[in-house]
Structure 1
Amino acid sequence: MNNKHASSHLPSSPYSARQAVPVRELHAGYREEILNHLLQLNDEDRRLRFGTQTPDEVIRHYVESLDFNRDVIFGVFNLDLELVGMAHLAYLPERKGEARAAEFGVSVLPEGRSQGLGTALLQRSAVHSRNTNIETLYVHCLANNKAMMHLAQKAGMTVEYAYGDADACLKLPPANPATIVEEAANAQWAGMDYALKENLKRSNQAWWWLLGRPGLAP
């Protein structure tokens, strides 16, 4: 089993090289959007995300079983309010004498890739973890998941490989006033971004209605 330490570290704010990425915390009312997002993943993307071949019925069960009171789900929406990026921050059971830990899983649709969405989702999850007293953030995936391994190494995670799987680990420092402010600012910003996109979508729908809904006629 080999250890691999990345020389880079998790950025202090969720920026890609070209744009800022607003990340919104999702509640149970977004279950349908989460399901639609995951069903759009092709067979290979599902295998990389869940570690095995994952048919539609398994995804539906996964979404139905999400516990929004226990875990945290983050998402990135496009201009049409479609969920193009999603992260599941799952809190692991507490064990006496061990650090509190959470596991990070992420998926991004093809249209959202190479835009910094994965980095932004990981950053948002890491800050939230710190603010909720999580000391260790884990990622478990297939060793050939190049996108996830790149993301983990870019974040400065320690990565161990064994039997075709990979486990990445990031030790988190305690929360401080800066992380509290950062999360609050990110939440407010993501809320404003969502509201603007929602208003834009409603405006477009109103115009479609006034113009006789072009493109919808048989």
Structure 2
Amino acid sequence: MHNKLANNHSLTKPYLAGVAVPVRELHSGHRSEILSHLLSLGEEDRRLRFGTQTPDEVIHHYVDGLDFNKDAIFGVFNADLKLVGMAHLAYLPQITNEAHSAEFGVSVLPEGRAQGIGTALLERCTVHARNSNIQTLYVHCLANNKGMMHLAQKAGMTVEYAYGDADAYLSLPPANPGTIVDEVANEQWADFDYALKENLKLANQAWWWFLGKPRHAR
């Protein structure tokens, strides 16, 4: 795997902050939302995400083991603050004389698909990886994971197939002032979007409580 990662494949275009999908970096306080998101995946979606049949106890173990200080986790919330998409950028061990690489994994709930969420998560992880001095972005998945393969090829990744699995990899150019500004701007925008949705949700709850109060009084 690592020899393949050393090949020189580069981005076809620079990262641009998504226009329609705000992506927020997650922290340990989001562990329950991440667990709920993954448990909401159906059996086939779990198989495609993790490469094998994945019962609830395995997902619990995976979420408990997430290290937010070592890796980077990103998410997309809908208007109800439900985590509809998440990506895990896992930093692989550094090997002497080989590119420093990180593995990208993503999942999107059915109600969030065909909305550019997967692409936005990949773009967010790409710019974060560049700013973290990662030289290669790597994806490993089942060869029949058409959604992941489409996403990888759309991003310009080189894909290799073997024994029912697929490896996709992309060499990343170094960070520059533009990527740093992009990441800061995207994070601020995502935080603002989340706060706006949170305030709107609280306002709606208060409004329905107010409307429901006369009925409870009867």
Query: TM-score of the superposition, structure 2-length normalised?
Result: 0.91
CA 11–92 in structure 1, closer or farther in 2 if over 3 Å, else same: same
Query: Is 1:10–1:123's contact at 8 Å kept on the other side of the alignment?
Result: no
What is residue 106 of structure 1 aligned with on the other side?
106
1:95 is paired with a residue whose SS is: coil
What is residue 12 of structure 2 aligned with on the other side?
9
What is residue 79 of structure 2 aligned with on the other side?
79
Query: Is 2:119–2:151's contact at 8 Å kept on the other side of the alignment?
Result: yes
**For 1:194-209, what aligned pairs fall within 5 Å after superposition?**
194-209=194-209
**For 1:138-157, what aligned pairs fall within 5 Å after superposition?**
138-157=138-157
1:37 is paired with a residue whose SS is: helix
- Give the Cα–Cα distance (whole angstroms) in 2 for the partners of residues 136 and 202 of structure 1: 42
Q: In the TM superposition, what is the alpha-carbon distance from 1:107 to its structure 2 partner?
A: 0.2
Query: Is 2:31–2:63's contact at 8 Å kept on the other side of the alignment?
Result: yes
Structure 1 runs not aligned, ≥5 long: none
Query: Is 1:43–1:54's contact at 8 Å kept on the other side of the alignment?
Result: yes
1:161 is paired with a residue whose SS is: strand
Q: In the TM superposition, what is the alpha-carbon distance from 1:128 to its structure 2 partner?
A: 0.2
- Give the Cα–Cα distance (whole angstroms) in 2 for the partners of residues 11 and 65 of structure 1: 33
Identity of aligned residues (%): 75
Higher helix share: 2
CA 162–199 in structure 1, closer or farther in 2 if over 3 Å, else same: same
What is residue 61 of structure 1 aligned with on the other side?
61
- Give the Cα–Cα distance (whole angstroms) in 2 for the partners of residues 170 and 213 of structure 1: 57
Q: In the TM superposition, what is the alpha-carbon distance from 1:213 to its structure 2 partner?
A: 6.7
Query: Is 1:138–1:167's contact at 8 Å kept on the other side of the alignment?
Result: yes
CA RMSD of aligned residues (A): 2.1
Name the aligned partner's letter for residue 204 of structure 1. Answer: N
CA 191–156 in structure 1, closer or farther in 2 if over 3 Å, else same: same
Structure 2 runs not aligned, ≥5 long: none
Q: In the TM superposition, what is the alpha-carbon distance from 1:96 to its structure 2 partner?
A: 1.3
- Give the Cα–Cα distance (whole angstroms) in 1 for the partners of residues 207 and 139 of structure 2: 45
Q: In the TM superposition, what is the alpha-carbon distance from 1:12 to its structure 2 partner?
A: 2.8
Name the aligned partner's letter for residue 75 of structure 1. Answer: G
Query: Is 2:144–2:164's contact at 8 Å kept on the other side of the alignment?
Result: yes
Query: TM-score of the superposition, structure 1-length normalised?
Result: 0.91
Alpha-carbon displacement from aligned partner over 1:60-113 (angstroms, at most 9, x marks no partner): 110000000000000000000000000000000111111111000000001110
